[in-house]
Amino acid sequence: MSGEPVRRRRWPRRGRVPLALLLGAALLVSACGGDEDDRKKPAGKAGTDKSASRAAVTIAPKDGAEDVATTGALKVTAHKGRLTSVKVRDSKGNEVAGKISGSGTLWQPSGHLGASTEYTVDAIAVDVQGREAAEHSRFTTLVPQNTFIGQYSPENGQRVGVGMPVSLRFNRGITDPEAVEKAIKVTAKPSVPIEGHWFGNDRLDFRPEKYWAPGTEVTLKLDLDGVQGRPGVYGTQSKEVSFTIGRSQVSTVDAKSKKMTVVRDGKTVKTIPITAGAPGTETYNGQMVISEKHPVTRMNGDTVGFGGEYDIKDVPHAMRLSTSGTFIHGNYWSGKPTFGRRNASHGCVGLFDVRGGHDKSTPAAWFFANSIIGDVVIVKNSHDETIQPENGFSDWNLSWEQWKAEQ
């Protein structure tokens, strides 16, 4: 052994670690590691779950689809969640009305879509934890090869009498009247119940139960663009027109007494001698409506089934009451003593007049000047049948129950 003294290795004194350092280390471990559940939570605001939603949104038709049907093709569904918002707009920004149903799992439009139109769909759904899922889609509807329109009466801005119905004549026969009628709305101010009635497959009229009240504003809204009226034939109209009801004038022709009483706003304003249809060519009974006014017109028996019995080229102050040829008009050829004494016409109602209609003091001139389209003319006590409701604007010959009944 060496005589060198043994040196002892001096170890550092083991002291206490400050508590602050221990806590800091513990927090560091927790922040960097943590338990498994904590690691699954994404960073973000406390209490907000930003993980993927279990909800899924499906839009039909598919994104980019073309030649899409205007009815029945569009629907939005939610799986494992519920829809909270569905916005469908056309290229002009007009929104398509629709409704969410099925406890939030289905959205469908309330009506039809327009033809030849591009639409965008934006839909949002949430799952049970409130997490959102969204989808966007774009599609274009079909371009119709065959179309139909409805020609309407009265005209926009017109002032008409209390008997004027809203009448549409379609240029193609309609085989789906329910779809067409659903796309047409007629409203009135002041409001009154209005119902539609089909005459055949090409005419649809609307009227209230009783004559319109004077001063009523009536609006016709056509939303026919994209409506399939018959297989492969689509409507093209999307417009709104309105007209106003003027004063009330209802004139009653009594074929027996050969007089006409004119009642305006509930008061008798004039009684006029007339001549109605002669035996064998009597005037229709019933409620008729003035649909045309002509200062002078030609009347030829050949056009209404009377052969060559008459052809008068200058009938003055003529107003049409029926499609089949019934008029109330001036008559200069029968002689003044005929009026109020004898029925001598071929079915029309005649009022005394002069040739050319230049004398404004005659009964015919007065009645013409004081009548408007839509005024009512009622014929009674004639030895003929009641006019059919589809003959002219004779709609009022149907009771309200008959009018509303399905055709």
Same domain, 153 and 125: no
Contacts of 336 (CB under 8 A, 6+ apart): 352
Same domain, 153 and 198: yes
Contacts of 394 (CB under 8 A, 6+ apart): 286, 287, 288, 289, 322, 387, 388
Is there a domain that residue 120 lies in? yes
Catalytic residue among 112, 197, 346, 348: 348
pLDDT of residue 42: 41
Residue where a domain terminates, one of 122, 140, 158: 140
Is there a domain that residue 381 lies in? yes
Same domain, 255 and 384: yes
> Which parts of the chain sit beneath pLDDT 70?
1-50, 301-310, 407
Same domain, 369 and 241: no
Residue where a domain terminates, one of 140, 166, 201: 140
CATH number at residue 339: 2.40.440.10
Is there a domain that residue 303 lies in? yes
Is there a domain that residue 13 lies in? no
Same domain, 288 and 303: yes
pLDDT of residue 302: 66
Structurally, how many domains does the chain consist of?
A: 3
CATH number at residue 72: 2.60.40.3780
Q: Is 348 tagged catalytic?
A: yes
pLDDT of residue 22: 36
Instruction: Please state whether the predicted TM-score (pTM) of the whole model is above 0.85.
Output: no
Is there a domain that residue 130 lies in? yes
Catalytic residue among 112, 317, 329, 346: 329
Is there a domain that residue 11 lies in? no
User: What token pair was written down for 369?
Assistant: 């000047």
Do 271 and 254 form a contact (C-beta atoms < 8 A)? no
pLDDT of residue 49: 58
Same domain, 286 and 369: yes
pLDDT of residue 289: 98
Same domain, 311 and 384: yes
Same domain, 253 and 354: yes
Q: What is the pLDDT of residues 72-116, one digit of tens each?
A: 999 999 999 999 999 999 999 999 999 999 999 999 999 999 999
pLDDT of residue 300: 78
Helix (H, G, I), strand (E, B) or coil at 327: strand
Residue where a domain terminates, one of 218, 245, 272: 245
Contacts of 337 (CB under 8 A, 6+ apart): none
Tell the residue number behind the tokens 């090409």, with chain if given. 202
Same domain, 76 and 135: yes
Q: What residues make up the domain containing 73?
A: 56-140
Q: Give the HSE-up count for residue 307: Cα atoms under 13 Å, Cβ half-sphere.
A: 2
Same domain, 158 and 228: yes
Burial 257-293, CB ≥16 within 10 A → b, else e:
ebebbbbbeeeeeeebbbbbbeeebbbbbbbbbbbee
Same domain, 159 and 234: yes
CATH number at residue 152: 2.60.40.3710
E runs forming strands in 211-310: 217-223, 228-230, 233-235, 238-245, 249-254, 259-264, 267-273, 286-289, 292-300
Same domain, 172 and 296: no
What does residue 28 show for φ and ψ, rounded to 5 degrees? -65, -40
Is there a domain that residue 48 lies in? no
Q: Is 32 tagged catalytic?
A: no
Is there a domain that residue 21 lies in? no
